[in-house]
Amino acid sequence: MASKTSYPKEKIRAVLLEGVHPAGAALLRDEGFQVETLAGAPDEAKLIALVEKAHLLGVRSRTQVTPRVLEAARNLLAVGCFCIGTDQVDLGVAGRRGVPVFNSPFSNTRSVAELTIAEIIALHRRLVDKSTQMHAGVWDKSAAGAHEVRGRTLGIVGYGHIGSQVSVLAEALGMRVIYHDVLSKMPLGNARQVKSLGDLLRDADVVTLHVPASASTRGMIGAAQIKKMKPGSYLVNNSRGGVVQIDALAAALREERLGGAALDVFPVEPAGKGEGFESEVRGLANVILTPHVGGSTEEAQAAIAEDACTKLIRFVNVGTTTGAVNVPEVELPAQDREGDGGRAHRILHFHQNVPGVLSKMHALIAGLGVNINAEYLRTRDDVGYVVLDVDPTNGREVLERLRSIPETIRARLLW
């Protein structure tokens, strides 16, 4: 990005942990930032030492960004979570310090969609059972229970980012696609939204779940719903473990009411690599089990790194907080640098969300005889974020005055 920041870019220090894909460091370095990368997740003491001088911190799911870490990171401008979840960061403390936290929720959409398609075909051909038999030395050449997916009906529950991608790919294979969503969603291709989950379960040859974990989806597929599914049909769950009542599913599979299932997520998942996996569905025929790897591809890791770093760069250079999970989201145009010799100031101001702060800011700026060209404000919980584009002036002085407002959390200047 061309515009200069108030702070020289070459002095911006980014620390990327947990082996974030190199595409991220490359983007930050292209921007002129200094980048330090580390393979593992440091403990609190080591992390504090690492972030003391950092402006940007990049973590994946294992590094715990605690209040103590955030307090020690006095220069920290923003945190990037190079994953979907953000519960490893104390979001409240970060927000109240004016430190936006960004993540990358949709960079692995395609990876999940592709796995889902692979599993739909594998279930129809009983591929995993055939392969297991072959490894055990059994040659069972038979067409029994093997089907083409062409012409079969796929029922997609949750027609969001992943569900709609699955829809496109499935149609390319010649499947008929129906879907159910709580919202009215525009169908892609020839897909058709059905009125209820019940209608979908009744008509689909294979049901795939792509809903978020929420109160409305917890246990949404239980014994009653499975009973509505076509005998011999298949269930795929690559969304969240709590969406399916696993004991009911295991019972239906044992009774061969369902023809098979593919599961990537479970109500209880092992915490780490060494821990064993226990589940009622282990050892059942035509059941594909994967260890929550739906979104885990090298392409997705690269896409996550690029997405999260782009958000960090836009915040540093322009002030945009779009995609932040803990502070108000403000989408900003690039500064208008034409006609003013490139000297217009942009002030980024995080403040406590209490009445009267804006009028204090306006009075201070007016007192300096400075004209405000544009103002963008959003609030979220107890934090407000206002961005002011002001006429060329003594930006330093404006900044100092704004910092003297007691409700100011953090103010930064771009020019």
Among residues 68, 125, 257, 292, which one is catalytic?
Answer: 292
Which alpha helices (DSSP H) does 237-350 contain, by range? 246-254, 298-317
Return all residues near 179 (Cβ < 8 A) that are at least 6 apart: 155, 156, 157, 158, 159, 163, 167, 185, 187, 191, 192, 193, 194, 200
Phi-psi sector, 341: left (phi>0), alpha (psi -120 to 50), beta? left
Nearer to ligand NAI, 111 or 317 (CB): 111
Helix (H) or strand (E) holding 354: none
Distance of closest approach, residue 279 Cβ to ligand NAI, in angstroms: 16
Rounded to whole angstroms, how far apart are CA atoms 69 and 72?
5
For position 157 contacting ligand NAI by CB under 6 A, the verdict is yes
For position 211 contacting ligand NAI by CB under 6 A, the verdict is yes
Q: Please, are residues 60 and 17 in contact by the beta-carbon 8 Å criterion? A: yes
* Single residue of 90, 181, 203, 205 touching ligand NAI by CB under 6 A: 181
When computed from its CA atoms, the radius of gyration of the chain, rounded to whole angstroms, is 26
Distance of closest approach, residue 125 Cβ to ligand NAI, in angstroms: 22
* Single residue of 182, 224, 268, 334 touching ligand NAI by CB under 6 A: 182
- Provide the mask over 219-258, with x wherever binding to ligand NAI is found by CB under 6 A and - wherever it is not: -------------------xxx------------------
Return all residues near 154 (Cβ < 8 A) that are at least 6 apart: 120, 166, 167, 170, 175, 176, 177, 178, 204, 205, 206, 208
Distance of closest approach, residue 290 Cβ to ligand NAI, in angstroms: 8
10 counts as catalytic: no
For position 7 contacting ligand NAI by CB under 6 A, the verdict is no
Rounded to whole angstroms, how far apart are CA atoms 16 and 36?
6
At position 231, the amino acid (one-letter code) is: P
Rounded to whole angstroms, how far apart are CA atoms 240 and 220?
11
Among residues 256, 269, 299, 331, which one is catalytic?
Answer: 269
263 alpha carbon, distance to own chain's centre = 21
Query: Which one of the spans 58-66, 67-75, 151-159, 354-362 is the region binding ligand NAI (CB under 6 A)?
Result: 151-159
148 counts as catalytic: no
349 counts as catalytic: no
* Single residue of 142, 184, 190, 216 touching ligand NAI by CB under 6 A: 216
Q: Which of residues 288-347 bind ligand NAI (CB under 6 A)?
A: 292, 294-295
Q: What share of the chain is helix, strand, coil (3-state, %, to 5)?
A: 35, 20, 45
SS3 call for 350: strand
Among residues 97, 176, 210, 240, which one is catalytic?
Answer: 240
- Provide the mask over 36-75, with x wherever binding to ligand NAI is found by CB under 6 A and - wherever it is not: ----------------------------------------
Residue nearest to ligand NAI (CB): 160
Distance of closest approach, residue 399 Cβ to ligand NAI, in angstroms: 39
For position 5 contacting ligand NAI by CB under 6 A, the verdict is no
Q: Please, are residues 47 and 69 in contact by the beta-carbon 8 Å criterion? A: yes
Nearer to ligand NAI, 99 or 236 (CB): 236
Q: Please, are residues 292 and 111 in contact by the beta-carbon 8 Å criterion? A: no
For position 162 contacting ligand NAI by CB under 6 A, the verdict is yes
| Catalytic residue annotation | 240, 269, 292
Residues that bind ligand NAI (CB under 6 A): 106, 108-109, 112, 157-163, 180-183, 210-214, 216-217, 238-240, 264-265, 292, 294-295
